[in-house]
Amino acid sequence: MFKGSTRGLVVAAAFTLLATITPASLRADTPATMPAPTIAPPSIPNKTFSIADYGAVGDGTTLNTDAITKALTACSQAGGGTVLVPAGKFLTGPFTLVSNLDLKIDQGATLIFSDDNTLYPVAPDPTNPSSEGNGQFYKDFISGDHLHDLAITGAGTIDGQGAKWWKAFAPFKNDMHNPAAPPHRPLLINIKYCQRIDIEGVTLTNSPMMHLATLACQDVLISGITIIAPPKSPNTDGLDPSGSNYLIKNCNISTGDDNIALKPVKGAIDGHPACENFLITDCTFGRGHGMSVGGQTSGGLNNVTVQNCTFQGTDAGIRMKAPRGSGGLVQNLTYNNLTMDGVKHAISISSVYPIPKVIDFGTTRPADDKTPIWKDIQISNVTATDSSYAGEIIGLPEMPITGITFTNVKIAAKHSLRVQNANQIKFVNSEIDVEDPPAVAIIDATVEGIDPLAGK
């Protein structure tokens, strides 16, 4: 066992060790719990339209797309209200949401999406280029575009029956430009450019791809939802949000990809970054790739707090990723009061994505507006036990990662925390305990608060 108070070891000649004891200037109070932001709630009239009244049959075999669409149309024509999915198993194809709507999946209700791909129209999406499907996209299961005052609530389940879609995708996973590759898989829920959204209580499961994407949306509450998919189901992210003014709380997510992935992919919106003002709190992360940012960040991100969350058996805990050519400015992130157990990579922040076993940065390139920039990150009161890797902080020669402070962070892992091409990395009252030394491997980086002579 190799242990030090974030003990470091020189593993490359080009590095600078700034301090061997914590300076008084770094002994600041750790962040307090951030209060919940004020989210403008949706305004939905007190009217109810049960899909059963429009011919829906909850026997698990009758196709109810037309009945659901009729209920949504009636709701819209009446100025809005609740479209109720009552107890039962309702098979359906794709449908489109409307404004001033609460789609309520009642307790005992399951909305089941058919895995018959002929029910889903295929079309190109010029706003969303993708290597998957050669630019062709199946229609998403539940979609909404430029809507306002929208809710999806209830104690029921929305099931995407993804197994057939995953199987069709598998042969082309590494060859998506093959002309025989199927179109881009549908998302379970895809909401774009909407305002005042409330998603509460529902269970989402087995999406063919991402479960819940909210692109460039504003004033969003996501509370108390459960998202479940098998650990090897491809690209089944739990939440993929972007926009501004989000509160995500009390969610339980286990998937085959990112549990939550903030997606600052699109360009700035009205002068603001693609992701801004997020609080993610009191969530439980199971299987999956963790609390992520990226893998593309070209739209920019500012002001995100993740607090009071637990990670159990997750592939990564804190994860940020973007490669050259798909990066942007990501700044002002706070992670506080997190507990991790059996997480493979406790901390993973990288401008090389995907991370190969051996990193070759190639020739140094000039920085441009697509270079990943990570700066001003506070990580406090984090405990990680039984990790495979303490993790990695990997910047670029032309753009080092700058300004990460670890305060009261305790990581127990088999392998090192690798810090490469990074400046102003500070440790305060923190410990990294590894079986395979060094605890912190420093390559072309500047680090404070590390005592290279401490420990055994």
> Lowest mean pLDDT: which of 244-248, 267-271, 341-345?
267-271
Q: Report in angstroms the alpha-carbon separations of 151 from 101, 148, 200, 426.
A: 6, 10, 8, 43
Higher local confidence (pLDDT), 390 or 20: 390
The pLDDT tens digits for 377-394 are 999 999 999 999 999 999
pLDDT beyond 80 at 120:
yes
Burial class (CB in 10 A: 0-12, 13-18, 19+), 178: exposed
The pLDDT tens digits for 233-244 are 999 999 999 999
pLDDT beyond 80 at 443:
yes
266 in Cβ contact with 244 (< 8 Å): no
Out of 166-180, 257-271, 283-297, 356-370, give the one with best mean pLDDT.
283-297
Phi, psi (deg, nearest 5) at residue 18: -85, -30
Active site residues: 257
pLDDT at 21: 26
As a whole number of angstroms, the longest Cα–Cα distance in the chain is: 75
pLDDT beyond 90 at 149:
yes
285 in Cβ contact with 313 (< 8 Å): no
What are the structural domains, with CATH classification, of the chain? 1-27+258-456 (no CATH), 46-92+101-236 (2.160.20.10)
Amino acid found at 301? L
pLDDT beyond 60 at 13:
no
Residue indicated by tokens 């996501």: 222
Q: Is the dihedral of CA 132, 297, 337, 34 positive or negative?
A: negative
CB atoms near residue 325 (< 10 Å): 12
Segments in 52-187 forming alpha helices (H): 65-77, 163-169
> Lowest mean pLDDT: which of 105-114, 158-167, 264-273, 328-337?
264-273
The pLDDT tens digits for 39-95 are 999 999 999 999 999 999 999 999 999 999 999 999 999 999 999 999 999 999 999
Higher local confidence (pLDDT), 62 or 26: 62
The pLDDT tens digits for 209-255 are 999 999 999 999 999 999 999 999 999 999 999 999 999 999 999 99
pLDDT beyond 80 at 196:
yes
258 in Cβ contact with 285 (< 8 Å): no
pLDDT beyond 60 at 16:
no
Query: Which of the four pLDDT bands, split at 50, 70 and 90, describes residue 31?
Result: low
Query: Which of the four pLDDT bands, split at 50, 70 and 90, describes residue 135?
Result: confident
pLDDT at 8: 36
296 in Cβ contact with 288 (< 8 Å): no
The pLDDT tens digits for 410-437 are 999 999 999 999 999 999 999 999 999 8
Token representation of residue 194:
């909407």
